[in-house]
Amino acid sequence: MSPKGVNELRLVLGTAMSLINIPDKTINFKLENAKNASIADTTKDIFLYATDDLIALNQEAPGVFYSNKSLWDGEYIPGQSQVQQLEILMPRASLKAGDRLFWFDVKSDGSINNGIKDIKPSEAGYIALAKQRFNLLATSSMANDPRAFSPDKALIAFSNPSAVLASEGIAIGDLSSAAGTKLPNADRFAFALEDSKGNISVSTKDFKINTNPILDNTVVFNASGAGSQVVLAPAEGELFVVDELKYYAPSNAKASTVDFNLDVASFGSYKSGYGLFRVDNQFGDFLFIVQSADGSPQLMALHPGNTNYAKEAFKRSQSNGLDGITGLPVDFAHSTRSTVRLAKGNSYGLYITPDKVFNSPDQLNDPSEILFSVKKANLTQQLQQVSMGTGYFAFEDMGFAGDRDFNDMLFAITPKDPSII
Ligand SMILES: [Ca+2]
Ligand SMILES: [Ca+2]
């Protein structure tokens, strides 16, 4: 019986090893024998899945951003925190050489204090004040070329592959990572774009989100025409997170999984295999339970960046279940669609095997033969894909010396049943 005044009791169930997640297990539990009380839900299903935050750039006011604070922050050196790590593409399809991207800190309404009072984005002197706080994120070094691959082309690549052919062999633009740049964690910040003539657009004034919500990593400065697009993928766009709320639909309300369409298109001469693989946290690690010296179970992490990691990723993809899927090469300028069922709350990485198709992890002994969406898993530790939006991955199938058109293998993971949120 509840103490007087208490009209709701919550039951919290934990696992002995808090960090492990088991995507294919569901626990059903039942509450009964209530005395002098009613139980609202007598039975419930519990899914054991990762509880990491969804890493996202959130917008508080127009052009004012903050990044999620991760549960992991206390355990990792801030400089290594994925939360603050941005993948930045300066697409030459919309930018000019010399365009520079900055961030600067603002208050939650976008205003900046000049020492006496807050200056709003609409007030005189705002841009000059913002400029004093600019921190450089990326510079565009390539001449404008509208043929190059872009977020807009990524969107139509699967339904109209011929529209993407113009980008073949044209370098996409400057791709970099904001590693080492300290984007303020949980504080508010804005972005600015300055061209080589000194003209400045700030996100708090001249900014709009791409008109297509799917391209949610693409931000657009200047409203006229296509504007100047920049791709900013939080956590370097390395993983696809099956967020329970984002993909909620009546059809998956009681399931621990979500069904997605997986579209794959190819604009490379290589015949490459590919796969999706489930990882165990937002850093792309694999976690295993091992026995410690005293016989008690202990968690062991396999971090990205070695052949064992590549083998495990490949092994998981070969399960063709909730741990991952594999796929066969797609013809040049063609696309395929399949259905994949992924586990709620879990994160998935992608890989391609340039010009090769492997049948077993044992065949994978040279880490140069596989390219990952997870940067640190690559032999070169370089970005091999651009994430134009949630579930959109555009891979380059050659190394840094290649054509860098980043259209060689394109993936789009979109929900089969539209979310109602
Ligand atoms: Ca290509
Ligand atoms: Ca290429």
pLDDT (tens digit per residue) in 224-262: 555 688 898 877 889 999 988 889 899 998 888 999 999
CA–centroid distance, residue 237 to ligand 2 (Å): 19
pLDDT (tens digit per residue) in 80-89: 444 557 889 9
User: For position 56, what pLDDT does the model report?
Assistant: 65
CA–centroid distance, residue 386 to ligand 2 (Å): 12
Distances (CA, A) of 418 to 16, 46, 252, 410, 421: 36, 24, 11, 21, 9
User: For position 42, what pLDDT does the model report?
Assistant: 74
Distances (CA, A) of 204 to 60, 173, 208: 11, 25, 9
User: The sheet that has 86-91: what strands, in order across it?
Assistant: 173-177, 86-91, 228-234, 218-221, 207-209
pLDDT (tens digit per residue) in 267-313: 999 999 999 999 988 889 999 888 889 988 888 999 999 999 999 99
Residues with CB under 5 A from ligand 1 (ion): 267-268, 405, 407-408
CA–centroid distance, residue 212 to ligand 2 (Å): 26
User: For position 81, what pLDDT does the model report?
Assistant: 46
User: For position 205, what pLDDT does the model report?
Assistant: 86
Contact between 199 and 227 under an 8 Å Cβ cutoff? The reply is no
**Bridge partner list, 84:** none
User: For position 375, what pLDDT does the model report?
Assistant: 93
pLDDT (tens digit per residue) in 348-394: 999 999 999 999 999 998 889 999 999 999 999 999 999 999 899 99
Lowest mean pLDDT among 28-42, 169-183, 184-198, 238-252: 28-42
Average of per-residue pLDDT values in the chain: 85
Residue 70 pLDDT > 80? no
- Segment 337-341 long-range contacts (CB within 8 Å, at least 24 positions apart): 337/158, 337/261, 337/262, 337/263, 337/264, 338/261, 338/262, 338/264, 339/259, 339/260, 339/261, 339/262, 339/416, 340/259, 340/260, 340/261, 340/262, 340/276, 340/413, 341/257, 341/258, 341/259, 341/260
CA–centroid distance, residue 404 to ligand 1 (Å): 8
Higher pLDDT, 36 or 106: 106
pLDDT (tens digit per residue) in 169-182: 999 999 998 754 45
CA–centroid distance, residue 41 to ligand 1 (Å): 54
Tracing tokens 């509880």 back to the chain, one arrives at 51
| Averaged pLDDT, 120-138 | 94
pLDDT (tens digit per residue) in 387-417: 999 899 999 999 777 899 999 999 999 999 8
Contact between 99 and 196 under an 8 Å Cβ cutoff? The reply is yes
Residues with CB under 5 A from ligand 2 (ion): 396, 403, 405, 408
| Averaged pLDDT, 263-269 | 96
User: For position 159, what pLDDT does the model report?
Assistant: 93
Closest CA to 54 of 188, 243, 280: 243
CA–centroid distance, residue 356 to ligand 2 (Å): 15
